[in-house]
Amino acid sequence: MTPDRILPTCLLFFAVGAPAAAQEQGFLWAAGPVAEAQRAHFVSILWWMAVVTVPLLIGLPLILWRYRLNGGGGRYRRDWGASPLAEVAIWSVPVVVVGFLAWNLWHATLSLDPYRPLGPDPLEVQAIAAEGHFLFLYPDEGIVTVDRLLLDADRTARLKLTSVDVLRSVMVPRLAGQIYAMPGMTTELNLAAFAPGTYAGLNTQYSGPLFPEERFETEALPETNWHARIEATRDGAGPLPPDVLQRIAMGDGAEAYLAADADLFARIAAPSSHGAHR
Amino acid sequence: MSDVRHPGLNLGTTDSPVHDAAEETVFGFWVLMMSDLALFAVLFATYAAMSVHGIAGGPAPVEIFDLKSTLWQTLALLASSFTFGMAALALKYDDDRRALSLWLGATFVLGALFLGLEARDWARMVTEHGATPQVSGFLSIFYLLTGTHFVHVAAGLLWMLVMAAQLAIFGLDGAVKLRLMRLAIYWHLLDVVWVAIFSFVFLSGLAP
Amino acid sequence: MIGLFLGTLRWDDVTFVEFWRTPDLNNAIAAAAAGLLVLGVVATLILLTVRGWWRPLWRDWLTSLDHKKIGIMYVALALVMFARAVAEANVMRAHQATAALDAGLVAPDHFAELFSTHGTIMIFLVAMPLLTGIMNFVMPLQIGARDVSFPLLNAISLMLTAAAAGLVMVSLVLGHFSTGGWSGYPPYTGADISPGEGPDYWIWALTLSSIGSTLTGMNFAVTLYKRRVQGMHLFRMPLFCWTVLCTSILMIFAMAPLTLATLMLWLDRHAGFHFFTVGSGGDMMNFANLFWLFGHPEVYILILPAFGVWSEVFSTFSGKRLFGYLSLVYATMAIAVLSFTVWLHHFFTMGQSANVNAAFGIATMLIGVPTGVKVYDWLLTMMFGRVRLRVPMLFANYFLVTFLLGGVTGVLLANPTVDYGVHNSLFLVAHFHNMLIPGTLFAMLAAIHLWFPKAFGFRLHEGWGRAVFWLMAPGFLLAFMPLYAMGMMGGMRRTAYFSDPLFRPWLWAAEAGAVLILAGFAALVVQIVVSVRRRDALAVPAGDPWDGRSLEWLGPAPAFEFNFAGEPKVEDVDAFTALKAQGEAYRRQETYEDIEMPRNSAVPVVIGALAGLAAFAMVWQAWATAALAFAGVWAVVIGRSFVRDTERTIPAAEVEAAHRAWLADVAAATPVHRRDELTPENRGLAEEPL
């Protein structure tokens, strides 16, 4: 763990204190540029907030001790209710801190907008969140993968998101943040990984009894391996059946398909399709 | 406390005990109306969004609104505010229950006329255009917005009937006066809301 | 025909029948919960009958329009509901901790019902009634008023809240509650995906309680504007009253969007409207906007009165004037205004433009300024004081420290950049529990300890109070610090089971914390029983057990029914301290006057019962019953408007006798030094200031 990781870990885990380093999930263990920026932003806020929090943590025990009823040494001024100097300080310090944090927030929010492409020529993927499963459509490659997102580690990716029936939210915590996937609508999420690896992805929004199952693996592969993997997938896959969603829900689906139906995503994301009735 | 601190009928010179009692009661009623206006504000905001994005292939405002009928509704309601104003004057200056009852009666008739015209308008939309609230998001909010106002006006009419009974039983005593003052605020405010509906829903809906 | 009156309600909907048909662990837990409820109700009925308490209950409590009694009933209602909701929290954590090993305790849908009822109850039927109760009891006393502006309306608000509580309780026995969480987002809660009665229970419980809250807000705001005693300028109101005013204003405006959002959802579900449906022009995103347009001000409705309580506690138990009164007033107002400008931060992740997110993020963070100011004002209130760590003060100092953590995580979450990573996660759950447990709940516990003597005439047992604190304080840390950690490791809220074994120790820690909080609640119950038993030793008839500073401490404990014998003189923010310093606090009055008080009324009970019945009938689509009950509500309202004799007079002689009796108690009491305030010597008379 780097010092930057120790700080938030200590601050937030102090009650339990168990080592968390082994549990490398979440954006604190960033594996992509967006998650890394999130982590850095997170830590910078903790430092800035220390300007406000540390004096209180120091002052509180001192005041409690010095002004205790039984034997406290402090002077007793029962009518002390105002001090212009103190008031100026307790208003201006938070104003300055929040002012800086606001500036920081503005720039971070604009530069880390999930809709902002992370590089030229991103890999286009369409993600359909369904009950218990995710479908990933690769329009340029002509394939569909189920519960597995295949990324080229040397290329950024742009996900178009929609959901079949209810509101969901798609995230690969170690790579980037989340955006809602909503039925009848299309949203967007840009992703990138620093290095090849497998990263957990999930739906974060409660969607029904199968919610805990709504997870997928994100495999970021080196460029050549990625091409080979796509080829292999294409060779091994059958055509996408029109009732693919029902089949997957029945546990009768394959791991991958050939995407003959180029309009599947557009159809599901169209507001006129009422979504599948459960 | 004879200075008017709440906007409303000023009884300071003619009946100062009721005027003083109004200080708290009528102020409270204004606060209730403020909450009610917040409800309408949210309905208007929803209408603003859905009348544009929620048409979904169903009929658009231009196709179903009939400005002439809506204008008559507006005139009926505005006239009813005038007659209620006359009722308030009768309440303030004369202890003349007959004039008060007559003006209130006129207000009731005009209010009922408004309801009738609006109901006829809805019936026309449904029969001629098939424009039921189930057709589109726009129609859902259209009926909810105008329907909420409709229910308010109908409740106002019921309130008038109750007041007529109380006038008959108790005469024009302090409690009855206070209730009439609150009914007046309610009624005028519904008029204001309707003017907003008329301009925001009907006029701008028909604007090219 | 019967369908019109019973709707879709069938035998199969009874939880016990469900268990009879399918006797598994899941249904056993549901049946046990329902059984506990039924047993509790039956036991209460038997107790009332055996002890002959029906008449006093009806005469002295249910039909009373006295703001103090209404306040106490609110708190009692909240504590009952708290017992259920905290038990549910325990079942959820126990389920999660064991679910990794086998199927856990409950089925996924049942788990979803648990988190939905837990949230709905804790917000609307624990936190809201708790603070409404405390506000009801304290605020009129603090401004020197005899009652609130509209006592009947006040009781109606209570009964509507009680009806909402009843409806949620009934869902234990008949049918199922919503599984859509306390925020009930469509399209999940729409008719296609949740066709049952669940979301309707949620819709109507919220509607009842939010109408009650709107009326309460109006009532309190008008009371504060119009019922302050001569000399009590706005800027002489105790800080608690300022927070009540701000909360009331929020209640007046914030409840309308909620009522509309739930009404629209109901129209979508049952009348085929298209407000939030997918397709046909519906827009589910509008629900998020409407819900949080209510939901965010709601957050400050819950926390502002707590800030008011903390202000009173810090000042009283430091024996010192509140530091930065004006700052605190302006900070409170600033928070109230800002609270309407930040709702979008609940859904930064909905795909709107980055500029919109940034603007709302900054607005959110701005709230950190007045909040930070408050924290330091409280710290400086203790400075130059004589600090005594009584139970409320223990909670207050614990709050200061834990609130810092909640504030830091709040600022973190205000940043869209961070929120993208932890939205919907247990980090968020930890954050808002961090605000609502040390913030609201502990403030209300502190308030109960502080004002209990004024309500019942005796102090709460200090030792058991410390037990409550020492169970709940570590309980909170143990229950929620692991959630911060799990949230940052990708653990999401509302997850019935975590397949990752690494979460298991954290989950067990959280479960242990939940048990401690439950134990703390049990200790509170024991504390009340012990205190009642020892009430003679704990009695403070002279009325001022803590050397109080504001007007509520003028007069005996329990308070006069009419609050004050005459008009108290107010010349300072700390009005009672000033009276004591001038030696005028315990002076006999020259003259006494007749006092008009509202007569008891059964109307609120009847309205509450009919409104509850109407809501229940709506849940089960029993349209005829609903229509009749709804018409009944309005018939009662109209009927009541024909009742003229609503006041009764307490004769001057009676007022004088009561006042003299209290002055005799004062004369009999020995003034105690603050050092001895926990001893039986404390009869409610504070030693003269040095």
Of B42, B54, B134, which is closest to C272 when you measure between CB atoms? Answer: B134
User: What is the rounded CA–CA span in Å between residue C543 and residue C241?
Assistant: 20
Range of the domain at B106: 16-206
Selected for mutation to probe chain C from B32, B40, B47, B138 (highest C CB count within 10 Å) is: B32
* C636 located within any domain: no
**How sure is the predictor about A273, in pLDDT bands with cuts at 50, 70 and 90?**
low
Assess contact for C494 and C55: CB atoms under 8 A. Answer: no
pLDDT for position C100: 66
> Which of the residue ranges B130-139, B146-155, C4-13 would you say has the lowest mean pLDDT?
C4-13
Written as one letter, the residue type at A11 is: L
For C325-371, write each residue's pLDDT tens digit.
999 999 999 999 999 999 999 999 999 999 999 999 999 999 999 99
Contact indicator for A268, A130 with CB cutoff of 8 Å = no
Give pLDDT, residue A278: 30
Confidence of residue A206 (pLDDT cuts 50, 70, 90): very high
Distance from CA of B47 to the nearest CA of C (A): 10
| Domain that residue C240 falls in | 53-601+646-676
Inside any domain, residue B20? yes
- C window 290-309, beta carbon within 8 A of B: 290, 293
SS (H, E, C) C147-189: CCCCHHHHHHHHHHHHHHHHHHHHHHHECCCCCCCCCCCCCCC
Chain C hits for A115, Cβ within 8 Å:
351, 353-354
Cα–Cα distance between C193 and C284 in angstroms, integer? 14
**Which residues from A are below 8 Å from C351, CB to CB?**
115, 179-180, 185, 187-188
Task: Write down the mean pLDDT value for chain B.
Answer: 92
Q: Report C:413-472 residues touching B (Cβ under 8 A).
A: none
Among A2-11, B36-45, C630-639, C650-659, the least confident range:
A2-11
Look up the CATH superfamily of A123-269: Cupredoxins -  blue copper proteins (2.60.40.420)
Tell me: pLDDT of A10 over 60: no
CATH number of the domain within which B170 lies: 1.20.120.80
With CB atoms and an 8 Å threshold, state whether A275 touches C187: yes
Residue intervals of chain A classified under CATH 2.60.40.420 are 123-269
Low-confidence ranges of chain C (pLDDT < 70): 1, 100-102, 689-690
Number of domains in chain B: 1
Question: B49 and C293: CB-CB below 8 Å?
Answer: no
φ, ψ dihedrals at A158, nearest 5°: -125, 115
Q: How far apart are CA A91 and CA C376, in angstroms?
A: 9
Q: Which one of B49, B53, B162 has the shortest CB-CB distance to C641?
A: B162
Confidence check: pLDDT of A24 > 80: no
Q: Do C90 and C511 form a contact (C-beta atoms < 8 A)? A: yes
For residues A167 and C193, give the distance between their C-alpha atoms in angstroms, rounded to a whole number. Answer: 12
The pLDDT tens digits of the residues spanning A229-268 come to: 999 999 999 998 888 888 888 888 889 999 867 788 998 8
The count of structural domains within chain C is 1
Q: Is residue B134 one of the residues assigned to a domain? A: yes
Facing residue for C400 by CB, picked from A14, A60, A79: A60
Task: Flag whether residue B193 sits within 8 Å of chain C, measured between CB atoms.
Answer: no
The pLDDT value given to residue B9 = 78
HSE-up of A125 (CA within 13 Å, CB side)? Answer: 25
Sign, CA torsion A34/A36/A39/A40: negative
- Which residues lie closer than 8 Å to C621 by C-beta, 6 or more apart? C7, C8, C270
Rounded to a whole number of angstroms, the distance from the CA of B55 to the nearest CA of chain C is 6
Chain C, nearest residue to A50 by Cα: C408
Per-residue confidence (pLDDT) for residue A277, from 0 to 100 = 33
Selecting from A78, A110, A205 the residue whose C-beta is nearest the C-beta of C358 gives: A110
Q: How far is C374 from chain A, CA to nearest CA, in Å? A: 9
Q: How many CB pairs under 8 A join A and C?
A: 315
Given an 8 Å threshold on Cβ–Cβ distance, is C642 in contact with B169?
yes
Chain A residue numbers with beta carbons less than 8 Å from the beta carbon of C407 are: 49, 53
What CATH number did the domain enclosing C401 receive? Answer: 1.20.210.10
Residues of C in contact with A171 (CB under 8 A): 420-421
- Please check whether residue C41 lies inside any domain of the structure: no
Contacts of residue A23 in chain C, CB cutoff 8 Å? Answer: 489, 500, 502
Q: Band the pLDDT of A25: cuts 50, 70, 90.
A: confident
Instruction: Give me the helix-helix angle, C128-142 and C151-173, nearest 10°.
Output: 160
pLDDT confidence of residue A100: 96
The answer to whether position B27 is within a domain reads yes
CA distance A227 to chain C (A): 30
pLDDT at C146: 95
Cα gap C20→C27, rounded to integer Å? 9
Contact B54 C279 (CB under 8 A): no
Residue C25 lies in a domain: no
Inter-chain residue contact C281 with B38, CB threshold 8 Å: no
**Chain C residue at shortest CA distance from A94:** C369
pLDDT value for C380: 97
Which positions in chain C touch A109 (Cβ < 8 Å)?
A: 354, 357-358, 361, 415-417
Query: Given a contact as 3+ CB pairs under 8 Å, which chains touch A?
Result: C
Give the chain A residue whose CA is nearest to the CA of C397.
A60
DSSP C124: I
Q: Give CA–CA dist C73/C57, Å, rounded.
A: 11
Tokens of A229: 């993997």
**In this predicted model, what pLDDT tens digit does every residue of B106-129 receive, in sequence order?**
999 999 999 999 999 999 999 999
Interface contact A180, partner C, CB < 8 A: yes
Give the mean model confidence (pLDDT) for residues A191-210. Answer: 95
Contact B179 C641 (CB under 8 A): yes
Per-residue pLDDT tens over the stretch A160-180: 999 999 999 999 999 999 999
Q: What's the complex ipTM? A: 0.95
C267 vs B contacts (CB less than 8 Å): 133, 140, 144
Q: Is residue C300 part of a domain?
A: yes
B166 vs C638: CB contact, 8 Å cut-off?
A: no
Is A113 in CB contact (< 8 Å) with chain C? yes
β-bridge partners, A161: A127, A187
Asked whether the beta carbons of residue A38 and residue C417 sit closer than 8 angstroms, the reply is yes
* Residue A65 near chain C (CB below 8 Å): no
Which residue of C lies nearest to B159 if distances are taken between CA atoms? C638
The lowest-confidence range among A273-277, B159-163, C487-491 is: A273-277
Q: C99 to chain A: nearest residue by CA?
A: A212
Residues of chain C numbered 621-680 and touching chain B (CB < 8 Å)? 638, 641-642, 644
- Which residue of chain C is at minimal alpha-carbon distance from B138? C281
Whether C253 and B35 lie within 8 Å, measured CB to CB: yes
Asked if C218 and B35 come within 8 Å (Cβ–Cβ), the reply is yes
In this prediction, residue B2 has a pLDDT band, given cuts at 50, 70 and 90, of: very low
**Chains linked to C by 3 or more Cβ pairs within 8 Å:** A, B
List, in order, residues 6 or more apart from C650 with CB less than 8 Å away. C561, C562, C594, C595, C596, C597
A12 touches chain C (CB under 8 A): yes
Closest CB to C256 among B42, B58, B140: B42
CB contact (8 A) between residue A110 and residue C319 = no
C514-531 burial string, b = 16+ CB within 10 Å, else e?
bbbbbebbebbeebbebb
Calculate mean pLDDT across residues A120-134: 95
Give the one of C279, C283, C293 whose C-beta lies nearest to B50's C-beta: C283
Task: Please tell me which residue of chain A has the smallest CA distance to C689.
Answer: A78
Q: Do C274 and B144 touch (CB under 8 A)?
A: no
